[in-house]
Chains A and B, each alone.
Chain A
Amino acid sequence: MKKYYLGIDLGSTTSKAVIIDEKDKIIGKGITNTRANYIVATEIARLEALYDARFTILKQKLKDEIETKFEYAKYIADVESAFKFLQFKKRLDKLNMQFKETISTTFTGEKQDKILGFVEGIVEKIEPVIKHGYLYSGTGAKNQFFRDIVSEHYNKEVAKLDKEYFDSLILVYDKSITPVENKLTEYDFKELIYESLEILNGKYENIEETYSENPAVDFDVELNLLKGNYKKLHDSIKEHISFIANLDIPIDNMVGTGYGRALLPFPEKSIKSEILCHAFGAHAFFPNTRTVLDIGGQDTKAIQVDSHGLVTSFHMNDRCAAGCGRYLGYIADEFSISLNELGPLAMEASHEVNICSTCTVFAGAEIRELLNVGQQRSDILAGLHKAIVMRAMSLLARSGGVRNEFTFTGGVARNQAVIKYVTELVRKNYGDDLTINIHTDSIFMGAMGAAMFALRSDS
């Protein structure tokens, strides 16, 4: 029987889980932004990774078909999207219930009815829009958290309503979202996967209609192939689906890392420092890595590793928020936008405004001043992104500089503007020939390293 290993990375902003097989291959990964407590966070991330693992195993089983027939790849991607939508739907239902509870405890009388009416209307409107997003435009593949997806649509609808109720409607959202995020929503994989297939049957049955009604939908080649073919595909895949739905994925050993690691109910030997895990994970993705820069939510680390991926030295900024992910979180709040929107907006800049403040809190005052004197939001954001990278550069210098190859990891490594400045400044300071590695899964490298330690310390 195959053996699997789990790595859990409990960060200050997100918690991540990675499942690998005996050959260090990633089978499943899960992430959550819940701030509930680390036990819930671990469970959410772990279950997500297990669902993901089932899809990976499905894809492994159908490897030949996926490689030779486009429609297989498309169909499986669609099953995954539908599955993710159903997961989303379960949480949306919970949020809806929470909305009602919040409204009943926050407002009274006529206002209560009015707000309730608005919120019901909003949920009714956004659900089909989001479903459409999952089924036709890849919402599930965008690395967005539940909160981000809902708030984007909720805020849009609120903006259309009577301004008088704006604050109340935002209050309802703010008060309701956290309790939902902080609770574990259990899903029955089997139930959801079969329901996903039903949704897809519906999708393909009406594909031409959907297309003519909505020309924005990409009616691509695979979809075209699927049009007349989906029933056959459905029948041939169903057996495999039921195999993965019933599959046992035994975890042989697990290792926890990250700031919350001490709270994990793991034995001491199963808890590892995130420095080692990030470096080890980064080294697994890019075996020639010698210097790792990890910008996480609460600290920044410059790590030097040897040819085995073993850490030889590390330097940390654990004193000052300026230079960590939290800085960006604070900035996003200052601009009243979500963390995800920061990078794209900064990329629109025509130049970078020079940010002098070396302190997160005082940067806030500087931003307001810059906005007052008419600087563009995007240019200010570009300056802020550059400032955080400049701090990382000084940490890298302290740690002994950048050696080839350089790998950038951590949650912040998903932000395009940070990537842009890291690349620019590393090249400028350490040469153009340097190989710079940034992986879309950079945020998972700590959990990956932990899983690899789990495999190696499995007795």
Chain B
Amino acid sequence: MPSKVVKEKSMIIQKEMIANHFRELSTAKETGKKVVYTFVPGNISELILAFDMLPVYPEINALQSGMRKKSEKFIQDAERIGHSEDVCTYVKCDIGMMINGNIGPTGEKIPPPDLLLLSYTGCFTFMKWFENLKRLYPGVPVAMLHTPYQEDKKITPEMTRYMVKQLKEEVIPKMEQVSGVKYDEEKLKNILRNSSKVEDAILRIFDTTKNKPSPIDAYFAGVYYIGPINSGFRGTPEAVNYYEELYSEIMERVRLGLGPITPEGEMENERFRLVVEGPPNWTHFREFWKLFYDFGAVIVASSYTKVGGVYDMGFRVDPDKPLDSLADYCMNCYTNLNLEQRIDLLSKCITDYKADGFLVNSIKSCNSFSAGQLMIMKELERKLEIPVGLIESDLVDPRYFSYSNIKNRLESFFQMLDQRKIILNY
């Protein structure tokens, strides 16, 4: 495998976008821009942009701290002030970062929030997280947007109305109050027009794994691809440009019959195609990824890349119905789907992308993702007769990443896929 690191044009564009964003954040106090802290799943970034405010996503900061080997100290600092061992490590990493001066992943200071926008989608910890932030930043208004869970496998008109009511009566007034800007529906519609284009491009991009070899890794590279939509760019022209560029690069790979790009160059021999459920480990992201590409395993779809929006089952924003669209978008995010819907979605991925196996990365400190994973696994194994596997790690606590245990299980899992060929042909 060549060791040359390939930097595609899209990578450079993305890097600039993210850097600009953090630069803008670091100068927000001087420029007078208001800052909204909110979460990735069910993020209504378009609405934040409509008020010319800047979003901050604590999970993104935490994962970035994890990748930059800063999370261990942050977590320990948070534990020292009383957060128990079992608390979500994103929360602890973030609180640790804040009590250490809130220096963000790029080394620039992240401004304190002007508004805490708690868009609640399937993760109870989000509420507790913001209760903590409220205490850390006394006096900052909190806007709560409650997203009803898809218990009955569907979104009813009542559910949409309930959410739109919250947007109109709770979220928008608070945003107006904080930003001093009047709500402008036409502006929101325009932003959503871009979102709609981005959504289309994302679906096309992740659909390219239908090719053999798959031109992309939909998990390890996928988390980079979803970077812009998960960090506030969804409704921007920059995002439209980025995703079109990315799509054309990938199509060029398809045309040339190339496999996915890894940190060590192109993966040349695709041996296994997998669908992965659960977030990756961030503290050992490179080692973790390497364990897969060294075995010739490519991830053809992952649920994690759908936390910022699920588009596979037909949902798109409708710019002409902006608030209804935002409501439906929130209710459609992965962690707000019931387990049956998650199974349906994963089954579709396994079938459409011709996966050889299904793998769960169970995260020690993430209850919202881990709940139901064993059931999902068993159900997929039964329904599709596909080999399934489970590994365990954590989001950003490096103490829970055991390289040898993960390697041992992965090796067994890959051999399990391989042995079918040996034994069934014997």
Q: Which residues of A contact B (CB under 8 A)?
A: 259, 272-276, 280, 308-316, 318-319, 398, 400, 453, 456-457
Contacts and interface: CB of A to CB of B under 8 A. Distances in A.
Nearest to B412: A273
Given A308-B424, A315-B390, A275 B374 contact: no
Classify chain B's interface size. Answer: 20 to 34
A353 to B, nearest CB: 30
B422 A453 contact: yes
B415 A318 contact: no
A309 B415 contact: no
B207 to A, nearest CB: 28
Interface in B129-171: none
Given A276-B419, A310-B419, A319-B392, 15 more contacts: A259-B408, A272-B415, A273-B408, A276-B412, A310-B420, A311-B387, A312-B387, A313-B378, A313-B387, A314-B389, A314-B412, A318-B402, A453-B419, A456-B423, A456-B426
Contact of A275 (B402, B416, B420, B424): B416
A273 B415 contact: yes
A313 B381 contact: yes
A316 B409 contact: yes
Given A276-B419, A456-B423, A457-B422, A313 B412 contact: no
Contacts of B387: 311-313
Interface of B: 374, 377-378, 381, 385, 387-390, 392, 402, 405, 408-409, 411-412, 415-416, 419-420, 422-424, 426
Contacts of B388: 312-313
B325 to A, nearest CB: 40
B423 A309 contact: yes
24 contacts: A272-B415, A273-B408, A273-B411, A273-B412, A273-B416, A275-B412, A276-B415, A276-B416, A280-B419, A308-B423, A308-B424, A310-B420, A310-B423, A311-B419, A312-B381, A312-B385, A313-B378, A314-B389, A318-B402, A318-B408, A318-B409, A319-B402, A456-B422, A456-B423
Nearest to B378: A400
Nearest to B411: A273
B37 to A, nearest CB: 35
A288 to B, nearest CB: 17
Contacts of A315: 390
A292 B411 CA distance: 19
Contacts of B415: 272-273, 276
Nearest to A259: B408
Contacts of A308: 423-424
B294 to A, nearest CB: 11
A34 B85 CA distance: 39
A312 B420 CA distance: 10
A314 B388 CA distance: 8
A57 to B, nearest CB: 25
A312 B380 CA distance: 11
Contacts of A312: 381, 385, 387-388, 416
B374 A398 contact: yes
A312 B377 CA distance: 11
